[in-house]
Amino acid sequence: MQAQYMPSEVESKAQQDWESRRAFIVDESSDRPKYYCLSMFPYPSGKLHMGHVRNYTIGDVLARFHRLNGRNVLQPMGWDAFGLPAENAAIKHGTPPADWTYNNIDFMRGQLKSLGLAIDWEREIATCKPDYYRWEQWLFIQLFEKGLVYKKTAQVNWDPVDQTVLANEQVIDGCGWRSGVPVEKREIPMYFMRITDYAEELLEELDHLPGWPEQVKTMQRNWIGRSVGVEVHFPLLSEDGVLKVFTTRADTLMGVTYVAVAAEHPLAEKAARNNPVLARFIQSCRQGGVSEAFVSNLEKKGMSTGDYVRHPLTGEALPVWVANYVLMGYGEGAVMAVPAHDERDFEFAKEYGLPIKPVICSGSERIMSSCDKATTDYGVLIDSGVFTGLSSKEAIIRIASALEEVGLGLSRVQYRLRDWGISRQRYWGCPIPIIHCSLCGDVPVPERDLPVILPEAVTVTGAGNPLAYMSAFVETTCPRCGSEAHRETDTMDTFVESSWYYARYASPDSSQAMVDDRARYWLPVDQYVGGIEHAILHLLYARFFNKLMRDAGLITNNEPFVNLLTQGMVLKDGSKMSKSKGNTVDPDQLIKQYGADTARLFMMFASPPDQSLEWSDAGVEGAFRFLRRLWKTVYDFMALPETQEVGQMSVELIALRRQLHETIVKVTDDYGRRQTFNTAIASIMELMNSFLKIQEVHLTARKIQRELLENMVILLSPIVPHICYVLYGALRPNESLLDAQWCLVDEEALKKEEEEIVIQVNGRLRGRITIPVNATREWVESRAESDSQVERFLAGKKIRKVVFVPHRLVNIVLENE
RNA sequence: GCCCAGGUGGCGGAAUAGGUAGACGCACCGCACUCAAAAUGCGGCGGGGUAACCCCCCAUGCCGGUUCGAUUCCGGCUCUGGGCACCA
């Protein structure tokens, strides 16, 4: 063993050993229970960033911990390889997206390997390869045939100069990022997946995911947005038909003073035909992007259509307005406006001088005459005809049945969740396997013709989808009638690939099926690790696909991820590391200077995984110092001269050994249950500090020191696997850490005879005493009251009561003066 | 605008089930070693009061509440971050 800690030598030796022993290549024949540990696969953007290093270290720590605890651990890796950046790079550098992507993958694979992750690299997948995406196309066809995929139009951001569809992130302040001109909303046909068919199950199953953060489940619940309410039908005044709206506040129905429809609503479009001013207004609503964040920040604008509807219960004529705050995508694309009890309606009514009619009185509040704000609280109905005096809750039921009686409404459930539009007018994605035939319509590609291969040799210009100009791709024959036909040139949303990759890792080489029997062994994923930014979309789509695959008979589990750990971001100087801010840290540079173990240790020590992590060069230095000290401690121990002195089990040694076993208990809990690696490291550091205080050199001391070092190396090994692998080999020359077991707790060593507790007077700390662990409450209380530090706070006062918390404190509460 | 988090010393953070606020590390200061420096080791380190390392007071973004006791629970506010369906 060398006296000096040389990270590069240690790490290359360890990595070579692991590779030659095929240590992390797994199969399903093990008799140990399986543990599938998955970190979100990276987009091959060029090189690893610190967020990746953090993500994959967290996953690796858990994988290695569970391996030491006897599990058959699968930790795979792959590439989320389709996506927009490859096209942007192609436009900028003229490199085809495929070349750019494969080069990035090769480079990043090398970087990942240098981190020393316990990955089964034989299961690597890249979603841009036909042997992966053919199964996505296969499933698409199954869904198409089941009616779970359908076609309708949807709004997109249209750049009128570049003549192309823009992603939301490519729209800045309502303008195209390259052209700089205002974007427009445009309706185009798209394929949709019926995720709303699964809304109820996706919502309900959240209650059965105890291993998910509450925060994520709340976000998903709100996103699905189940609401129970009433669909109200307002008969049109000038013709047959009704205007449908959905409301959760039927109790306010008698306070409706107008109705508002989205600019794209058929009623608005019809009214605009004979009204050029309205047509111009509707046209102006088309300006700007489609994202909800953009739309909801717009100043509220509207215009009367000149049409009226009848109130379903009073028959009163109510004006129909077009309003830019009404979204076509939610509910019926129309709302009943109750300005007195809805903030947006209120603001709009004020702006356009529409009447405000209060119908709910909440609490002791006085009835407003000319109110200055909307009150959205539930209360008691006023000025509401036969419903006056009812509570909101009762009124909702009564009004719903009154509507049902006249055939102008019904109670129903509405979801905020919308069906998933998966068509993208982009080249670098999975081709949608549909052939358009003028006679047969949209015909799915027959299974025998899969995959529909994406041509990789292309020139990307940024204007339109290059696939559309490739006649060899587009021109084909109809599989049904044989006549001339053309292929769909849209590709799928890249969220589709990442919605099922976790299942493919189980059988990555299967050429006969999307997933095979091995998926039943590995699924569900026991631990999923990834960024909190994926809390809604990716995780919801992945849950949805799991259910689709289950219903296609491929797998049997209901949910894909048993436990979810959402990691926080890596910050430097208080903000997210990014190229544009110039505050990035290069992982390669870091590993070159200090080694992967130091990088891993710092990242795990700096904060708990689910919080953001503030980068600190000095902190990295500190992590490196600790590893150097660990190395030197083991080296010094091994180099101790022989001794014959037997020695005594001193108080210090007993305490040290107790600390070791307390640390094992704590670290095991920190890795396994709490997943707070920072506190695990801190307690190992404390153990190390105690170790270094021991001066005794006899055989008894040495035995305990060895016990400490061997255990410490195992405790740290999930976080800093290379140095621990080598140190373990030095401590136990004929053994390998790869075959080691997790540390065992000696309950005997944990036993204590005395403990310290604190004494409070009126909740304030006034003293501390050491007591026998088995002391009775009475004994402790009398000791506390007679304590010299405490007595003076009790002088002349009457004790009202004494609170006793075993192992912690005695609180003496005095009478008030 | 809507939904979800977070705010504790000079800094990263700890306090796990309402029970000793500041573990562990960084930075800084002092000392030892050294011709010197680096490295290493030892000690100190929230603010204020005080002759005092006795002790007391203040202190976990802000305001209020519940409790014997609140960083932790509740209400209101504020700032920062994540997401908002075509970035991944």
DSSP run (H or E) holding A56: helix A50-68
- Please give the protein residue whose CA is closest to the C1' of the nucleotide B16: A674
pTM: 0.95
**pLDDT value at residue A817:** 57
The Cα–Cα gap between A677 and A610 comes to 11
Q: What is the CA radius of gyration of chain A?
A: 34
**Rama region for A441: left / alpha / beta (φ>0; ψ in -120 to 50; rest):** left
- Please give the protein residue whose CA is closest to the C1' of the nucleotide B13: A607
Instruction: Name the nearest CA neighbour of A134 among A513, A687, A686.
Output: A513
- Cβ atoms A107, A45 nearer than 8 A: no
Nucleotide nearest to A810 (CA to C1'): B19
**pLDDT value at residue A370:** 47
- Please give the protein residue whose CA is closest to the C1' of the nucleotide B41: A692
- Please give the protein residue whose CA is closest to the C1' of the nucleotide B86: A167
Q: Is the C-alpha dihedral spanning A454, A457, A459, A462 positive or negative?
A: positive
- Spatial distance from the CA of A110 to the C1' of B23 (Å): 38
**Residue A786 predicted with pLDDT over 90:** no
User: CA angle, corner A474, sides to A473 and A479, nearest 5?
Assistant: 100
User: CA angle, corner A713, sides to A708 and A714, nearest 5?
Assistant: 100
- Please give the protein residue whose CA is closest to the C1' of the nucleotide B80: A574
Nucleotide nearest to A616 (CA to C1'): B12
Instruction: Name the nearest CA neighbour of A530 among A56, A157, A214, A119.
Output: A56
- Please give the protein residue whose CA is closest to the C1' of the nucleotide B23: A682
What amino acid occupies position A139?
A: L
What average pLDDT does the segment A761-790 reach? 89
- Please give the protein residue whose CA is closest to the C1' of the nucleotide B40: A629
- The more confidently predicted of residues A763 and A56 is A56
**pLDDT value at residue A497:** 98
Q: Reduce the DSSP state of residue A293 to 3 states and report it.
A: helix
Instruction: Give the β-pairing of A78-79 and A125-126.
Output: parallel
What average pLDDT does the segment A595-608 reach? 97
The Cα–Cα gap between A619 and A603 comes to 9
- Spatial distance from the CA of A626 to the C1' of B72 (Å): 32
Nucleotide nearest to A613 (CA to C1'): B12
- Cβ atoms A554, A519 nearer than 8 A: yes
Nucleotide nearest to A801 (CA to C1'): B68
The Cα–Cα gap between A259 and A256 comes to 8
- Spatial distance from the CA of A688 to the C1' of B26 (Å): 18
- Spatial distance from the CA of A543 to the C1' of B23 (Å): 40
Q: Reduce the DSSP state of residue A665 to 3 states and report it.
A: helix
ipTM score of the complex? Answer: 0.96
* Tens of pLDDT, residues A246-298: 999 999 999 999 999 999 999 999 999 999 999 999 999 999 999 999 998 88
A576 pLDDT band, cuts 50/70/90, is confident
- Spatial distance from the CA of A623 to the C1' of B40 (Å): 16
Nucleotide nearest to A537 (CA to C1'): B85
Q: Long-range CB contacts (< 8 A, 24+ apart) of A357-364? A: A357/A254, A357/A255, A357/A257, A357/A383, A358/A255, A358/A382, A358/A383, A359/A251, A359/A252, A359/A254, A359/A255, A359/A383, A359/A384, A360/A251, A360/A252, A360/A255, A360/A392
Nucleotide nearest to A293 (CA to C1'): B84
- Cβ atoms A565, A675 nearer than 8 A: yes
- Spatial distance from the CA of A623 to the C1' of B28 (Å): 19
Burial A288-312, CB ≥16 within 10 A → b, else e? bbbeeebbeeeebbbbbbebbbbbb
* Tens of pLDDT, residues A159-175: 999 889 999 999 999 99
- Cα end-to-end distance, chain A, whole Å: 71
Nucleotide nearest to A157 (CA to C1'): B86
Nucleotide nearest to A490 (CA to C1'): B86
**Rama region for A190: left / alpha / beta (φ>0; ψ in -120 to 50; rest):** beta
The Cα–Cα gap between A446 and A127 comes to 21
Instruction: Name the nearest CA neighbour of A437 among A427, A445, A449, A448.
Output: A445
- Spatial distance from the CA of A363 to the C1' of B64 (Å): 21
* Tens of pLDDT, residues A448-506: 999 999 999 888 887 788 999 999 999 999 999 999 999 999 999 999 999 999 999 99
- Spatial distance from the CA of A342 to the C1' of B1 (Å): 14
**pLDDT value at residue A642:** 85
**Residue A107 predicted with pLDDT over 90:** yes
* Tens of pLDDT, residues A342-358: 988 998 999 999 999 99
CA A590 from centre of chain:
28
- Spatial distance from the CA of A786 to the C1' of B53 (Å): 26
User: CA angle, corner A351, sides to A347 and A356, nearest 5?
Assistant: 65
Neighbouring-strand partners of residue A528: A38, A564
Q: Reduce the DSSP state of residue A219 to 3 states and report it.
A: helix
Helix ranges (H only) for A389-536 are: 392-405, 471-474, 501-504, 518-522
**pLDDT value at residue A371:** 60
- Please give the protein residue whose CA is closest to the C1' of the nucleotide B11: A616
The protein footprint on chain B, as nucleotides within 7 A of a CB, is: 1-6, 11-16, 19-21, 23-27, 39-42, 55-57, 68-70, 80-88
**Residue A798 predicted with pLDDT over 50:** yes
> For chain A, what is the mean pLDDT?
93
| DSSP secondary structure letter of residue A273 | H
The Cα–Cα gap between A240 and A237 comes to 8
